[in-house]
């Protein structure tokens, strides 16, 4: 089967005609396969959803239990067959429950990697490279200026600022799903044992991660504390809250932001960030190139991000590559530098 | 290099003046000689690296990185030094990093042919922040929001002396300023020779609002034109040994004499300090700011530039004369001294900015909206508005309340349609923030939009994000870094564009160029078909020509 007959880009997302299913559709469809819980990939209102147990759980946290009529659990390593097409879920290393989906029929295999990273993450299973004919990749940080530094150094930067300014609250912007939990876990791994304070919008996903066995240590809501008790403490909040009225409750705060975008100085300045922390849940340039080599695909399709550079690099390596120009991705998390709409996700993340 | 690089890095993220001062003080106290002296020199623009041009840095990176990938990266990052710093790979085998003094002294001693390899070796040895700081340093474009005055103020604070004290000794000194630091740290005497041509911080005005006029009596004030050039200070005098010096300073205390040798020569005998506007004069007429811009931001100038763009100063105020400080005197006394001073100096490059005759605020309002008959004559197009000054005001540094106001002219405005967008640089890098807009005219194939200008400010950060989204969504063509955006009668984005004036221009297809255009409002409510036509602009130009404001 030709790859373009097996999966084809459409306004709703990636469509698989022989199985009549969609992957990460941005509009409601009869049957959707979802790679991970970020709101631009996982939307409410599909007839049926096939995803990992964690992703289904995250969707229920965010949209309520009625986010779909039928939720089906996909397990890593156990293919689901629909009309003769095999769909195999494998870890993507992006956030808890995140998966790649290998779509295979009549000897043609396409891997939809979703969003992914190769760097170590204590909060989710590591990315598993799958050999394939076509590799579909994101390119959020698909420029050679994006090389994420070792995250230990970034955590050390935060901790040394805390010891340098023991009277100032360190307000760290971190995306609600994935980044906030990873920051907490990395702080714990670095030996930080003070309570970590959070914005109410992070509460339910923090609890969800903890319930799935991710050790986040003691987490407390900011709203439960007097202002003076937060001097010298670390507070995690959605990125949009850094410059919000909300952050004015802290005395002389240090504003930090954990994101791959912090690699570019103008980005940090545009957001008024004083302490940029380069911690990303997406592959950087080196890992993107290495992954494309590793899966040894003959063809690469690029879903969203900086597609020009990676398509050029692929061409120079003799790999056919094309941008899919899918619309609608990059509205949550790091995928688009200026967007931080997860705070606006309906219902699920309001302070309790 | 690391302490200096960390300092620049912190300063770059720090918007607050007091926090910048604290960072600078901390650095000056901790860093050793001669590194800190070279750092001070870098921030006061006293260093130059003539062999290291942006073209060379570009060439070095292109030897290491695919040109297409470099181009896309530069387009995204919007800053050459930072792009190269991010793309360059550190050589992990090199354990030692160069100090700031090593960097400065090595390049001072290196030949032009050795400089590229030397720079590459230094880049190999530094981490990202170090590479960025090194490239900022050698290209002379720190852009960290630190003026010469701010750096000297921080140093003065370390020594608990007044910033003017540092200014007074400053020009007798050379990098790396060991004797200056010794004096500041009370380890040595005050550096000997007093500077005969020091910088004196300028007095600035508040923008006036309509309600202010009710509280102000016109009789207590004088008014003068606000010229559309750059505010400068000329300071001159003889040293103890009798040698005459004249220097030209920007408003922030950066010395710009090197870019204006014609002016400096013409007022060479000046003994005192003048506050005035730097403009370009041709055949007795003040030229537009666009023309002046050709001479700005250059360290040196060619003879042709001196001929084509003759610089001139229109004086507002006299701060010192023959060693006497006039700043405490009332304005009218200083003004009388200024008039006599200008007459005596008799330089063709220096004249007096005239006062505007008025008795009521209404009269001044009329003069401001139509400066030509009110005394500005042929120079009316270069009038940016009025300055209103209390007749008894002393000359105080900074922006004191209650003495001086500026009253700018109302801008022109048209509704135009966004046609092309380009990514910005600096603060706005990676957003589509440079907009080319057009108005309607009758073309060969019916109605068409013709570009009339380009603007890259006037909108808020929030609006920038909205426009950026619009550009990404409505792109119909890409030409390298430029995106063509949908612009049809019923599809597209309308801007209300404000501008200060219009000129004929052969460079633009429409035959017109706007002065100082900016986005006044985004008209999400309007359709492109409702935007203005070229005829409207032609009428505006004709009207301003009739008023004597045309500027060829």
Summarize pLDDT for B263-286 with one digit per residue, the tens. 999 998 899 999 999 999 998 899
Residue A202: φ, ψ to 5°: -95, -10
Q: What is the DSSP code (8-state) at residue B145?
A: S
Interface contact B12-A264, CB threshold 8 A:
no
pLDDT of the residue at B552: 34
Give A146→chain B minimum CA distance, Å: 7
Report the chain B residue with the minimal C-alpha distance to residue A313: B69
Interface contact A312-B86, CB threshold 8 A:
no
CA distance B507 to B437: 15
- Residues of chain B that touch chain A, judged by Cβ-Cβ distance less than 8 Å: 12-15, 65-66, 68-69, 72-73, 76-79, 82-83, 86-87, 128, 132, 426-431, 461, 465, 468
> Which range in B356-370, B424-438, B491-505 is most confidently predicted, on average pLDDT?
B356-370
Give B254→chain A minimum CA distance, Å: 25
**Termini Cα distance of chain B:** 51
Q: State the residue range of the domain holding B87.
A: 2-139
Report the chain B residue with the minimal C-alpha distance to residue A274: B13
Report the chain A residue with the minimal C-alpha distance to residue B127: A149
pLDDT of the residue at B292: 86
The answer to whether residues B30 and B77 belong to one domain is: yes
Give B97→chain A minimum CA distance, Å: 19
**CATH number, position B88:** 1.10.3260.10
pLDDT of the residue at B281: 93
CA A182 to chain centre: 11
CA-to-CA dists, residue A149 to A173, A284, B127, angstroms? 18, 10, 11
| pLDDT tens digit sequence for B225-241 | 999 899 999 999 998 78
As a whole number, mean pLDDT of residues A163-178 equals: 92
| Domain end call among B363, B388, B408 | B408
Least confident of A243-257, B171-185, B409-423: A243-257
pLDDT of the residue at B513: 86
| pLDDT tens digit sequence for B199-209 | 998 999 988 98
pLDDT of the residue at B549: 38
Residue B533: φ, ψ to 5°: -110, 160
| Interface with chain B: mutation pick from A26, A143, A253, highest number of B CBs within 10 Å | A143
Give A274→chain B minimum CA distance, Å: 5
User: B70 lies in a domain?
Assistant: yes
The answer to whether residues B312 and B393 belong to one domain is: yes
Beta partners for B417? B438, B494
pLDDT of the residue at B141: 77
**CATH number, position B304:** 3.30.470.30
Q: What is the DSSP code (8-state) at residue B372?
A: I
Interface contact A313-B69, CB threshold 8 A:
yes
Give the one of B132, B430, B461 whose C-beta lies nearest to A267's C-beta.
Answer: B430
Residue B124: φ, ψ to 5°: -60, -30
Contact of B248 with B257, CB cutoff 8 Å? yes
Q: In the structure, what pLDDT confidence band is assigned to residue B500 with cuts at 50, 70 and 90?
A: confident
| pLDDT tens digit sequence for B163-195 | 888 988 887 788 999 999 999 999 999 887 677
Helical residues (DSSP H) of chain A, grouped into ranges: 3-6, 53-63, 151-164, 179-189, 203-211, 265-270, 285-295, 307-316
Q: What is the 3-state secondary structure (H, E, C) of B181-224?
A: HHHHCCCCCCCCCCCCCCCCCCECCEECCHHHHHHCCHHHEEEE
The answer to whether residues B269 and B391 belong to one domain is: yes
The answer to whether residues B46 and B6 belong to one domain is: yes
Chain A partners within 8 Å of B76 (Cβ): 143, 145, 264, 306
Chain A partners within 8 Å of B78 (Cβ): 266
CA distance B74 to A239: 26
User: B378 lies in a domain?
Assistant: yes
Query: Is it the case that residue B546 has pLDDT exceeding 50?
Result: no
Per DSSP, the residues of B46-112 read ----TT--HHHHHHHHHTTS-HHHHHHHHHHH--HHHHHHHHSPP-TT------HHHHHHHHHH--T
Report the chain B residue with the minimal C-alpha distance to residue A271: B461
Query: Is it the case that residue A21 has pLDDT exceeding 80?
Result: yes
As a whole number, mean pLDDT of residues B324-332 equals: 94
User: B185 lies in a domain?
Assistant: no
Contact of A333 with A257, CB cutoff 8 Å? no
Higher-pLDDT residue of B383, B85? B85
Report the chain A residue with the minimal C-alpha distance to residue B84: A145
pLDDT of the residue at B508: 75
Higher-pLDDT residue of B292, A180? A180
Contact of B441 with B509, CB cutoff 8 Å? no
Chain B partners within 8 Å of A143 (Cβ): 69, 72-73, 76
The answer to whether residues B404 and B416 belong to one domain is: no
Interface contact A269-B77, CB threshold 8 A:
no
pLDDT of the residue at B418: 96
CA distance B151 to B21: 8
As a whole number, mean pLDDT of residues B495-502 equals: 88
CA-to-CA dists, residue B50 to B37, B109, B112, B138, B354, angstroms? 20, 12, 9, 9, 42
Interface contact A309-B68, CB threshold 8 A:
yes
Q: Name the residue among A171, A305, A298 with its Cα closest to residue A238.
A: A171
| pLDDT tens digit sequence for B2-12 | 999 999 998 98
Interface contact B72-A306, CB threshold 8 A:
yes
Give A84→chain B minimum CA distance, Å: 37
Interface contact A145-B465, CB threshold 8 A:
no
How much is the pTM? 0.73
The answer to whether residues B16 and B101 belong to one domain is: yes
Q: In the structure, what pLDDT confidence band is assigned to residue B485 with cuts at 50, 70 and 90?
A: very high
Chain B partners within 8 Å of A274 (Cβ): 13-14
| Domain end call among B354, B385, B408 | B408
The answer to whether residues B330 and B417 belong to one domain is: no
- Residues of chain A that touch chain B, judged by Cβ-Cβ distance less than 8 Å: 143-147, 149, 263-270, 272-276, 306, 308-309, 312-313, 316, 337-338
Query: Is it the case that residue A216 has pLDDT exceeding 50?
Result: yes
Q: In the structure, what pLDDT confidence band is assigned to residue A81 with cuts at 50, 70 and 90?
A: very high
Query: Is it the case that residue B479 has pLDDT exceeding 90?
Result: no
Chain A partners within 8 Å of B12 (Cβ): 265, 269
Percent of chain B with pLDDT over 70: 97
Instruction: Tell me what the pLDDT averaged over chain B comes to.
Output: 90
User: B171 lies in a domain?
Assistant: no
Chain A partners within 8 Å of B82 (Cβ): 264-266
Contact of A168 with A253, CB cutoff 8 Å? yes
User: B177 lies in a domain?
Assistant: no
Chain A partners within 8 Å of B66 (Cβ): 312-313, 316
The answer to whether residues B467 and B423 belong to one domain is: yes
Give the one of B13, B69, B72 whose C-beta lies nearest to A268's C-beta.
Answer: B13
Interface contact A145-B431, CB threshold 8 A:
no
Give the one of A144, A269, A337 whose C-beta lies nearest to B13's C-beta.
Answer: A269
Contact of A172 with A158, CB cutoff 8 Å? yes
Percent of chain B with pLDDT over 90: 60
Interface contact B73-A263, CB threshold 8 A:
no
Contact of A117 with A283, CB cutoff 8 Å? yes
Per DSSP, the residues of B314-357 read EEEEEEEETTEE-TTS-HHHHHHHHHHHHHHH--TTEEEPPEEP
User: Which secondary structure element, helix H or strand E, spans residue B292, and what is its range?
Assistant: helix B289-293
Q: Are strands A134-139 and A299-305 parallel, antiparallel or unpaired?
A: parallel
- CA-CA-CA-CA torsion sign (A165, A262, B422, B137): positive
Cβ contacts of residue B119 below 8 Å, gap of 6+? B52, B56, B57, B60, B107, B134, B138
Query: Is it the case that residue B216 has pLDDT exceeding 90?
Result: yes
pLDDT of the residue at A213: 94
Report the chain A residue with the minimal C-alpha distance to residue B425: A266
Q: In the structure, what pLDDT confidence band is assigned to residue B551 with cuts at 50, 70 and 90?
A: very low
Instruction: Tell me what the pLDDT averaged over chain A comes to.
Output: 90
Chain A partners within 8 Å of B468 (Cβ): 338
pLDDT of the residue at A175: 95
CA distance B306 to B55: 25
pLDDT of the residue at B80: 93
The answer to whether residues B376 and B513 belong to one domain is: no
User: B146 lies in a domain?
Assistant: no
Give B24→chain A minimum CA distance, Å: 16
Query: Is it the case that residue B136 has pLDDT exceeding 50?
Result: yes
| Interface with chain B: mutation pick from A242, A253, A266, A285, highest number of B CBs within 10 Å | A266
User: B24 lies in a domain?
Assistant: yes
Query: Is it the case that residue A206 has pLDDT exceeding 90?
Result: yes
Which tokens sit at B368?
């401001």
Query: Is it the case that residue B320 has pLDDT exceeding 60?
Result: yes
| Domain end call among B344, B375, B408 | B408
Query: Domain count of chain B?
Result: 3
Total beta-carbon pairs less than 8 A apart between chain A and chain B: 72
b/e per residue, A283-313, with b = 16+ CB within 10 A?
bbbebbbebbeebebebbbbbbbbbbbbbbb
User: B422 lies in a domain?
Assistant: yes
**CATH number, position B498:** 2.40.50.140
The answer to whether residues B278 and B424 belong to one domain is: no
Give the one of A147, A309, A338 whose C-beta lies nearest to B69's C-beta.
Answer: A309
Give the one of B14, B429, B468 whose C-beta lies nearest to A338's C-beta.
Answer: B468
Query: Is it the case that residue B548 has pLDDT exceeding 50?
Result: no
CA distance B143 to B145: 6
| pLDDT tens digit sequence for A86-134 | 999 999 999 999 999 999 999 999 999 999 999 999 999 999 999 999 9
The answer to whether residues B476 and B526 belong to one domain is: yes
At which residue do the structure tokens 């500026």 appear?
B406
The answer to whether residues B454 and B526 belong to one domain is: yes
């Amino acid at each position: 089967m030709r790859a373009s007959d097996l999966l084809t880009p459409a306004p709703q997302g990636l469509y698989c005609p022989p199985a009549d299913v969609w992957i990460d559709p941005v509009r409601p469809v009869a049957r959707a396969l979802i790679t991970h819980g970020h709101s631009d990939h996982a939307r409410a209102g599909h007839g049926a959803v096939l995803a990992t147990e964690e992703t289904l759980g995250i969707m229920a946290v965010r949209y309520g239990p009625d986010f779909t009529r039928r939720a089906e659990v996909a397990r890593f390593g156990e293919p689901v067959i629909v009309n003769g097409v095999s769909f195999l879920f494998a870890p993507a290393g992006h956030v808890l429950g995140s998966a790649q989906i290998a779509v295979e029929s009549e000897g043609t295999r396409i891997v939809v990697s979703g969003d992914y990273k190769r760097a170590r993450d204590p909060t989710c299973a590591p990315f598993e490279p799958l050999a394939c004919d076509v590799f579909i990749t994101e390119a959020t940080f698909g420029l050679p200026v994006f090389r994420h530094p070792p995250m230990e150094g970034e955590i050390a930067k935060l901790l040394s600022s805390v010891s340098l300014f023991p009277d100032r609250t360190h307000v760290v912007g971190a995306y609600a799903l994935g980044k906030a939990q990873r920051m907490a876990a990395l702080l714990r791994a670095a030996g930080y044992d003070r309570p970590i304070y959070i914005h109410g919008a992070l509460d339910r996903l923090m609890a969800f991660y903890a319930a799935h066995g991710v050790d986040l240590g003691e987490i407390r809501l900011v709203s439960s504390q007097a202002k003076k008790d937060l001097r010298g403490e670390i507070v995690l909040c959605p990125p949009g809250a850094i410059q919000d009225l909300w952050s004015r409750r802290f005395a002389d705060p240090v504003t930090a932001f954990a994101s791959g975008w912090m690699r570019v100085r103008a980005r940090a300045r545009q957001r008024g960030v004083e302490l940029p922390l380069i911690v990303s849940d997406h592959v950087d340039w080196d890992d993107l190139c290495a992954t494309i080599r590793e899966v040894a695909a003959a063809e690469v399709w690029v879903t969203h991000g900086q597609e020009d550079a990676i398509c050029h690099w692929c061409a120079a390596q003799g790999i056919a590559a094309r941008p899919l120009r899918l619309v609608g991705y990059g509205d949550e998390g790091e995928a688009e530098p200026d967007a931080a709409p997860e705070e606006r996700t309906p219902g699920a993340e309001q302070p309790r | 290099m690391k302490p200096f690089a960390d300092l620049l890095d912190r300063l770059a993220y720090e918007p607050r003046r007091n926090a910048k001062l604290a960072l600078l003080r901390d650095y000056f106290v901790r860093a050793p000689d001669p590194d800190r002296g070279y750092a001070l020199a870098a921030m006061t623009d006293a260093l130059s690296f003539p062999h290291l041009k942006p073209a060379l840095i570009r060439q070095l990176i292109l030897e290491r990185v695919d040109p297409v990938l470099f181009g896309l990266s530069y387009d995204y990052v919007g800053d050459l030094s930072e792009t190269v710093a991010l793309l360059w790979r550190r050589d992990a085998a090199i354990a030692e990093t160069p100090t700031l003094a090593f960097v400065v002294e090595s390049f001072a001693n290196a030949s032009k042919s050795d400089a590229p390899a030397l720079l590459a070796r230094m880049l190999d040895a530094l981490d990202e922040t170090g590479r960025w700081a090194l490239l900022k340093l050698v290209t002379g474009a720190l852009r960290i929001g630190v003026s010469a005055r701010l750096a000297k103020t921080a140093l003065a604070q370390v020594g608990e002396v007044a910033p003017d004290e540092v200014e007074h000794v400053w020009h007798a000194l050379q990098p790396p300023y060991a004797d200056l630091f010794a004096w500041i740290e009370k380890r040595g005497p005050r550096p000997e020779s007093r500077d005969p041509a020091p910088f004196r911080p300028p007095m600035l005005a508040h923008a006036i609002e309509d309600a202010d006029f009710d509280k102000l009596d016109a009789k207590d004030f004088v008014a003068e034109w606000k010229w559309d050039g750059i505010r400068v200070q000329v300071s001159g005098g003889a040293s103890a040994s009798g040698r005459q010096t004249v220097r030209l300073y920007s408003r922030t205390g950066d010395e710009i004499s090197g870019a204006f040798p014609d002016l400096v020569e013409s007022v060479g005998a000046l003994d005192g300090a003048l506050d005035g506007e730097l403009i370009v004069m041709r055949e007795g007429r003040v030229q537009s700011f666009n023309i002046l811009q050709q001479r700005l931001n250059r360290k040196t100038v060619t003879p042709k530039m001196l001929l084509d763009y003759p610089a001139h100063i229109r004086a507002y105020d006299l701060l010192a004369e023959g060693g006497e400080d006039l700043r405490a005197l009332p304005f009218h006394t200083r003004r009388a001294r200024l008039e006599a001073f200008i007459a005596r100096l008799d330089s063709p490059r220096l004249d007096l900015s005239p006062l505007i005759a008025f008795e009521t605020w209404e009269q001044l309002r009329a003069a401001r909206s139509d400066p030509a008959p009110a005394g500005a004559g042929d120079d009316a197009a270069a009038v940016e508005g009025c300055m209103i000054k209390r007749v008894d005001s002393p000359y105080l540094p900074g922006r004191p309340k209650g003495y001086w106001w500026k009253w700018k002219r109302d801008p022109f405005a048209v509704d135009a349609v966004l046609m092309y967008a380009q990514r910005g640089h600096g603060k706005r890098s990676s957003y589509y923030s440079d907009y080319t807009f057009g108005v309607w005219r009758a073309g060969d194939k019916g109605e068409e939009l013709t570009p009339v200008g380009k603007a890259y400010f006037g909108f808020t950060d929030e609006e920038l994000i909205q426009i950026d989204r619009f550009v990404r969504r409505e792109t119909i063509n890409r030409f390298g870094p430029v995106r063509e955006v949908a612009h049809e009668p019923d599809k597209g984005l309308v801007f209300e564009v404000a501008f200060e004036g219009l000129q004929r221009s052969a460079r633009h297809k429409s035959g017109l160029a706007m002065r100082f255009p900016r986005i006044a409002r985004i008209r999400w409510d309007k359709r492109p078909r409702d935007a203005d036509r070229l005829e409207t602009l032609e009428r505006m130009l004709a009207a301003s020509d009739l008023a004597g404001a045309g500027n060829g």
